[in-house]
A and B are shown apart, each in its own frame.
Chain A
Amino acid sequence: MDFGPFFLLAAMEGAVGAAVLAVTALGLSLVFGVMRVVNVAHGEFYMLGAVIAWWVTSLLGVHPALGFLAALIVSPLIVGAIAGAAERLVLTRIHYDPEATIVATIGMLYIIQQAVLMTYGPDARPVQPPFDFRIQLPWFGYSGYKLFVILAAALLMLAVWWGLTRTRVGLMMRATQFDRETARAFAIPVDTVYGGVFAVGAMLAALGAVLVTPIQQAHYLMGHDPLLLSFIVVIIGGLGSLRGTVLAAVIIGMSDGIISVFFSPTLAKIIATLAVAFVLVWRPQGLFGERPA
């Protein structure tokens, strides 16, 4: 293949990665933004989403499109319920202390991961794509499902944006984010908002994972990379800034895809992780965030 088409292919692969990453990272960003805690178990909620998607589709045994649709609904609901329960049982009791929360979510990470290993096993299992449709470009054919992923991710993000800015629940979330105590004084049920946000954050991770399962197989260790990349995105984009998160997801997802095609993926990851550290040290508001007054 010539360089031009090859680059186009790399860019398209990058765009698919960026779309899934944006949805996943948005969940992490939302949790950090509103609750001011870092959820290290975020990648495991993603993995759980994928595994449940496989479980739902194989259990139903219906047409792939129907199975996928069912997974798209059931998987986030189950993951959200688990995350909500974890928040009630653990995070509320340590009063969202930032350091204790990180330790506790590391604990959750291991528990979820190992519980899946013990039940689902160490195998990687695929989910059938809902439709088989290839777009034939002059140089290569491209999976229509992957383009659907980009579209679905964009719609999801629009929905989140709408929910945050145009609904009463979104208003409560933003008020809580702005000032927890004042929000409480205005009779906003802060505890419920926290539980809800933690669940929604995990659900976004699960949604990203369901979208990815027809491309990438469900495996109990698959949460590692999305966690790392989400971290990178959320920090580069500015902690808690949703717009920055989406922007950073697109840039990092695209460049990760493109760099991985041309360079050693290990080197790309080393550079990315170091970049995160340096951004946190020298520009803690992120590359796209405003410097606080």
Chain B
Amino acid sequence: MSGVLALLGGPRSAALHLGLIAVLAVLQFVLAEYHHIAMSRILVLACFAIGFNIAFGYTGLLSLGHALFFGAGMYGAGLAAQFLAVAGPGAFLIGLAAAIATTLIAGAIALRTAGVSFMIVTLMFAQAGYLTVYYFGAYTRGDEGFVVDATMRTLFGLALNDATVRYWIALALFAVCLVGALAVARSGLGRVLVAIRENEERARMLGYDVYRYKLTALVISGAMAGAAGAAYGLLFGYVGASFASIQYSILPLLWVLMGGAGVVLGPFLGTLAMFYLIDLTSGVTTAYLLVVGLALIALILFFPKGILGTLREKLGARGASWLP
């Protein structure tokens, strides 16, 4: 029992994170239909952001190419369902495997660089991936995308186009990613990742193979992004090139920056806040990317630590026990 508690970052952290999952489970019975669907999407996208946070928030790897991993998961699952007639869990696993393989290859190359070069290399890889979707337009239908056949969207006999099923699956995936991120953050691995972020040369001279640790972090990150992509495609039944575009590399960065980089709960809060911020302003303007741009600059200028990062700092030692 104490092992489980340690995994969750101690009693306070365990209470907060498990409590959130419980609240989200109950919330679906209360939410109006629109918000019910929105929350399913937010939960899946939050998994993408949680993955991004492992690389960016904890390890200090600022990737501009995570759409590649999200897209690999989505297209892996979507194409498997569409053309190989692999249903539900099988398609999901194929998507996950595709994302892990893609991250491993792209990461192994990109991690030979650092800083700005790493950002550009990941950006270029993701751009090449995006263009590849167009190149194989005969299968992917490019920008237009394709609708995943409803008969393939099942899980153990449950239809994934049912809103309640969808919410439960989204919540389950979110719970796995959240607890996984918590476990990483609180483990020896997490300590080394933060050490690399803080002072890479020192970490190396303590005997850590920095390259291997970074690659490990990136693969965990890419796997979560891919899982989110695969789930998104299967749950909502649509696979399109826009999900592999640069915009989907920028969005997880924005979500993490807003919620708080290097805080386990940050990505969820950021995804939630950004979703409703865009939702609210959509009444005023259709140019929702304007909101994205303004939010990015405002965060970088005034709140570089994000909502929860700032809060944790204010709370001091108590903050760290609640928000690892």
- Would you give the shortest CB distance from A281 to chain B, in whole angstroms? 5
Q: How far is the CA of A110 from the CA of B110 in the complex (A)?
A: 26
- Would you give the shortest CB distance from A108 to chain B, in whole angstroms? 7
Mark out the residues of chain A between 14 and 28 whose CB falls within 8 Å of any chain B CB in the assembled complex: none
- Would you call B285 an interface residue if the criterion is a C-beta within 8 Å of the partner chain's C-beta atoms? yes
Q: Which of B121, B132, B301 contacts A270 (CB 8 A)?
A: B132
Complex contact B115–A110 (CB within 8 A): no
Residues of B in contact with A, size category: 35 or more
Complex contact B116–A98 (CB within 8 A): yes
Q: How far is the CA of A118 from the CA of B112 in the complex (A)?
A: 42
Binds A, one of B83-91, B122-130, B145-153, B211-219: B122-130
Q: How many A-B residue pairs have CB under 8 A?
A: 110
- Would you give the shortest CB distance from B246 to chain A, in whole angstroms? 9
Q: How far is the CA of A107 from the CA of B301 in the complex (A)?
A: 11
- Would you call B163 an interface residue if the criterion is a C-beta within 8 Å of the partner chain's C-beta atoms? no
Q: Which of B110, B124, B304 contacts A100 (CB 8 A)?
A: B304
Q: Which of A102, A106, A109, A273 contacts B116 (CB 8 A)?
A: A102
List, in ascending order, chain A residues with CB within 8 A of B280's CB.
none
List, in ascending order, chain B residues with CB within 8 A of A118's CB.
285, 287, 290
List, in ascending order, chain A residues with CB within 8 A of B132's CB.
270
Complex contact A277–B301 (CB within 8 A): no
- Chain A CB within 10 Å, residue with most, of B64, B121, B131: B131
Mark out the residues of chain B between 247 and 294 whose CB falls within 8 Å of any chain A CB in the assembled complex: 250, 253, 257, 285, 287, 289-290, 292-294
Q: How far is the CA of A6 from the CA of B131 in the complex (A)?
A: 27
Q: How far is the CA of A276 from the CA of B304 in the complex (A)?
A: 30
- Would you call A269 an interface residue if the criterion is a C-beta within 8 Å of the partner chain's C-beta atoms? yes
Q: Which of B112, B127, B292, B304 contacts A110 (CB 8 A)?
A: B292
Q: Which of B128, B289, B294, B301 contacts A273 (CB 8 A)?
A: B128
Residues of A in contact with B, size category: 35 or more
Known: A111-B297, A114-B287, A118-B287. A99 touches B120 (CB 8 A): no
Complex contact B131–A273 (CB within 8 A): yes
Complex contact B300–A281 (CB within 8 A): no
- Would you give the shortest CB distance from A181 to chain B, in whole angstroms? 20
Q: How far is the CA of A278 from the CA of B287 in the complex (A)?
A: 35
Q: Which of A109, A110, A267 contacts B135 (CB 8 A)?
A: A267
Instruction: Specify the main secondary structure of chain B where it touches its partner.
Output: helix
Q: Which of B62, B125, B296 contacts A277 (CB 8 A)?
A: B125
List, in ascending order, chain B residues with CB within 8 A of A98's CB.
115-116
Complex contact A114–B289 (CB within 8 A): yes
Q: Which of B110, B119, B287, B297 contacts A281 (CB 8 A)?
A: B110
- Would you call A54 an interface residue if the criterion is a C-beta within 8 Å of the partner chain's C-beta atoms? no
Known: A103-B257, A111-B290. A280 touches B297 (CB 8 A): no
- Would you call A117 an interface residue if the criterion is a C-beta within 8 Å of the partner chain's C-beta atoms? yes
Mark out the residues of chain A between 95 and 144 whose CB falls within 8 Å of any chain B CB in the assembled complex: 98-100, 102-104, 106-111, 113-115, 117-118
- Would you call B208 an interface residue if the criterion is a C-beta within 8 Å of the partner chain's C-beta atoms? no
Complex contact B297–A108 (CB within 8 A): yes
Complex contact B110–A277 (CB within 8 A): yes
User: Which residue of chain A lies nearest to B117 when distances are taken between CB atoms in the complex?
Assistant: A280
Complex contact B292–A284 (CB within 8 A): no
Q: Which of B115, B119, B301 contacts A94 (CB 8 A)?
A: B301
Q: Which of A93, A104, A115, A273 contacts B296 (CB 8 A)?
A: A104
List, in ascending order, chain A residues with CB within 8 A of B120's CB.
38, 231, 235, 276-277, 280
A-B contact sample (19 more), CB < 8 A, given A104-B297, A266-B134, A277-B125? A90-B300, A98-B115, A99-B119, A102-B62, A102-B119, A107-B296, A108-B293, A108-B297, A109-B293, A111-B290, A113-B289, A113-B293, A117-B287, A231-B120, A269-B127, A270-B128, A274-B124, A280-B124, A284-B117
Considering the complex of A and B, which 7 residue pairs feature the smallest CB-CB distances, nearest first?
Answer: A110-B293, A107-B296, A114-B290, A107-B297, A111-B293, A114-B287, A277-B124
Residues of B within 8 A of A (CB): 62, 64, 109-110, 112-113, 115-117, 119-121, 124-125, 127-128, 131-132, 134-135, 250, 253, 257, 285, 287, 289-290, 292-297, 300-301, 304
Residues of A within 8 A of B (CB): 38, 90, 93-94, 98-100, 102-104, 106-111, 113-115, 117-118, 228, 231, 235, 264, 266-267, 269-270, 273-274, 276-278, 280-282, 284
